[in-house]
Amino acid sequence: MWNQRLFVGKRVLVTAGADGIGLEIARTFAAAGAKVLVCDVQQSALDRLAAATPEILGCLADVSNECDVSAMFDTLDQKLGGLDVLVNNAGVAGPTGGVETLSLVDWERTLAVNLTGQFLCVRSAIPRLRKSSDASIINLASAAGHLGMPGRSPYSASKWGVIGFTKTLAIELGAAGIRVNAILPGAVDGPRIRAVIAAKAEASGLPLEEVTRAYTSQASLGRMVTTADIANLVLFAASSLAGNISGQELVVDGNTQALS
């Protein structure tokens, strides 16, 4: 495999890595030889991770909480002794509904996790990444970070924000040799997207099957992507194979033309 052992000796932090896409990313880095620390807000998910994959280290932290992020980087220093790759994966779906129906609390929580969380982690990561000879930041955005997404305005706004943050960071950190890229997944098959589809069906009054069909047919390839698709792209973008790729929107969405 092209990615085999590409990350031996590298130190990788994956936020929200105890479940979902982050877990697949963490496992893929570990399989490629990296020392991996993940954080998560769910202790139960961290416990499952420790039992199933003890070589991946875990710590409890909410990326939107400044004190948690600071403590997480203390843990990172103790357990990994430095950082080569930061994967800002944590993100929440946010509320579903027309803008006029949304609460300020839900709007602010979505931005706090999806955008401010990346800011807090990047701010603490930069001094550590400056000491690495091959440093990279990967920010999880979404197809909703370059397309509009009716009914999901806080999510889409936060992910467009991730793109602006990524492109600006890539310029600011280029001279230090730190590459920064965004990954834009389309709908990823799994429990989270099924919950989003169910919420949309309920909000719109349409049958679940019809909303599911609308999700898959919006990609030219006619299917959702997998967590492995995302993890492989993250690994490539963070690797020396992508040594001259920075400031880019890397899309893995089956050629999604619109989001419903």
Contact between 137 and ligand NAD per CB under 6 A: no
Residue type, 183: I
CB of 126 to ligand NAD, least distance (A): 20
Contact between 14 and ligand NAD per CB under 6 A: no
Containing 167, the helix (H) or strand (E) segment is helix 153-174
Which of 45, 135, 201, 211 touches ligand NAD by CB under 6 A?
45
> Which CB sits closer to ligand NAD, 187 or 235?
187
CB of 16 to ligand NAD, least distance (A): 3
Give the bridge partners for 182, in sequence order: 139, 249
Task: Count residues binding ligand NAD (CB under 6 A).
Answer: 29
CB of 100 to ligand NAD, least distance (A): 24
Binding mask 156-195 for ligand NAD (x = CB under 6 A): -----------------------------x-xx-x-xx--
Q: How far is 37 from 160, CA to CA, in rounded Å?
A: 27
Closest by alpha carbon to 154, among 92, 98, 110, 198?
Answer: 110
> Which CB sits closer to ligand NAD, 84 or 229?
229
Supply angle C-alpha 115, 120, 122, rounded to 5: 95
Which of 16, 129, 147, 173 touches ligand NAD by CB under 6 A?
16
Q: Are 122 and 178 in contact (CB under 8 A)?
A: no
155 is a catalytic site residue: yes
Tokens of 234: 């993250």
Binding mask 66-105 for ligand NAD (x = CB under 6 A): -----------------------xxxx-------------
Tell me the chain's radius of gyration from C-alpha atoms.
18
Site for ligand NAD in 196-255 (CB under 6 A): none
Give the strands of the sheet with 35-40, arranged side by side: 57-60, 35-40, 11-14, 85-88, 136-140, 179-185, 249-252
Question: Helix axis angle, 191-204 relative to 208-217, nearest 10°?
Answer: 120
- Among residues 155, 160, 165, 215, which one is catalytic? 155
Site for ligand NAD in 98-117 (CB under 6 A): 113, 117
CB of 237 to ligand NAD, least distance (A): 14
**How does DSSP classify residue 145?**
G
Q: How far is 215 from 229, CA to CA, in rounded Å?
A: 18
Q: Are 131 and 82 in contact (CB under 8 A)?
A: yes
Report, as residue numbers or ranges, the catalytic residues: 155
Residues at the site binding ligand NAD, with contacts judged by CB under 6 A: 15-16, 18-22, 39-42, 45, 62-64, 89-92, 113, 117, 140, 142, 185, 187-188, 190, 192-193
